[in-house]
Amino acid sequence: MSNSTTIDSRQFRAALGSFTTGVTVVTTRSVAGEDVGLTANSFNSVSLDPPMVLWSLDRRSSTAAAFMAAEHFAVHILAADQEQVSNQFAARGVDRFAGLAVERGHGDVPLIAGCSARFECRTSYRHDGGDHVIFVGEVVAFDSFGRAPLVFHGGNYGLLMKKKAQDVEDTRSSFGDEWLGFLLGRAYYQMLMPLRAEVQRQGLDDIHYRILSALSTGEGRSVTELSRLVEFSGHRVVDEHFATLAERELIVVDGEQVRFTEAGRRYAIELMAAGKSAEADAAGELDFNEARLLKLLLKRVIRATGQGLPEHWRKENIWRDNNVWGAAGGATEGSST
């Protein structure tokens, strides 16, 4: 497997991709007064005293002349939500600063906003590095904004979870409380607790709220449809459940068809707000990036496990944007794919 005698450039590039990096945009102002910038992940810290950073640039780059002549440059470490900025500064034949608010830093260098950290530098060295030039800059000013980072690995963007001391794991075991099913179930039921408490205050129980939830995905569903959706969560639905909701004047059952009353619709909206608040609580120990991560990983689990769903449920996309609870949704097609 060792690639010794001749280095295959494609394989070499792939091996380099094993090294995870942040993503930066490096900017300068050309002698002609033009703003120049590019996306680079070849950034790194070098020296603390004096404070210095480095990055390297392909000698054939269209921006090379500007940086070779520049006394100053700025390095922006991009934040997790700046994928678009990263792509824009890697694109050819476009105005890379289009749509961005530009401030001026040392040497009139263009500074862009919204990043995770920013270093303004005076060029100290331009070192040889094969087909690249290594720029070493002394940091004359810097800003740190504490935003979650954009990450690059293996030719793709990635999402990062920062480990905390409380994050205890036992990678050897997948039974007991390390079993994925346990963790999913517990997280789910705990997250639902405030919603359940709210429903119980109204004298209703889990099955009732699951019926209301299923109904809020589309009015006019039949009793049979709603029961099937709720039964996906392992609850057996009987006529009495619908009768209770009708007595409480939350729904009207018209033959097989079920619809909300005005009060029922208002109540569903209240529960939606409670669901939103439950999500905020559940994500209390997650930063913006980690919350995204969790959702993306759950969607992968949903993709990987959806094959056993009844054909009828998979085909019609009955899950709409206005549902309140997760239970009934199990019966629908691949989340937002």
Q: Does 134 bind its own copies (CB under 8 A)?
A: yes
Q: Does 18 bind its own copies (CB under 8 A)?
A: yes
d(CA 55, CA 25): 11
Which parts of 96-115 interact with its own copies (CB under 8 A)? none
Please report, as a single letter, which amino acid is at residue 150: L
d(CA 141, CA 119): 6
Q: Does 323 bind its own copies (CB under 8 A)?
A: yes
Residues 212, 218, 220, 223, CA torsion sign: negative
Candidates 29-37, 46-54, 65-73, 90-98; binding stretch for its own copies (CB under 8 A): 46-54
Which parts of 230-259 interact with its own copies (CB under 8 A)? 232-236
Please report, as a single letter, which amino acid is at residue 74: A
CB nearer its own copies, residue 53 or residue 250: 53
Please report, as a single letter, which amino acid is at residue 288: F
Least distance (Å) between residue 303 CB and its own copies: 6
Burial of 223 (0-12, 13-18, 19+ CB in 10 A): middle
Which of 142, 218, 246, 261: binder of its own copies (CB under 8 A)?
142
Q: What is the DSSP letter of 50?
A: T
Which of 62, 65, 125, 256: binder of its own copies (CB under 8 A)?
125
CB nearer its own copies, residue 235 or residue 265: 235
Please say whether the beta carbons of 205 and 260 come within 8 A. Answer: no
Least distance (Å) between residue 48 CB and its own copies: 6
Candidates 48-56, 61-69, 219-227, 239-247; binding stretch for its own copies (CB under 8 A): 48-56
The residue written with tokens 């094959």 in the block is 307
Which parts of 153-212 interact with its own copies (CB under 8 A)? 153-154, 156-164, 166-171, 173-197, 205-207
Which parts of 58-77 interact with its own copies (CB under 8 A)? 77
Q: Which two tokens stand for residue 118?
A: 């920013």
> What is the C-alpha radius of gyration for the chain, rounded to an integer number of angstroms?
28
Distances (CA, A) of 167 to 150, 157, 164, 284, 286: 22, 24, 5, 14, 12
Which of 36, 54, 211, 258: binder of its own copies (CB under 8 A)?
54
Which parts of 262-291 interact with its own copies (CB under 8 A)? 272, 275-276, 278-279, 281-286, 290-291
Candidates 31-39, 238-246, 251-259, 314-322; binding stretch for its own copies (CB under 8 A): 314-322
Tell which phi-psi region holds residue 155, choosing left (phi > 0), alpha (psi between -120 and 50) or beta. left
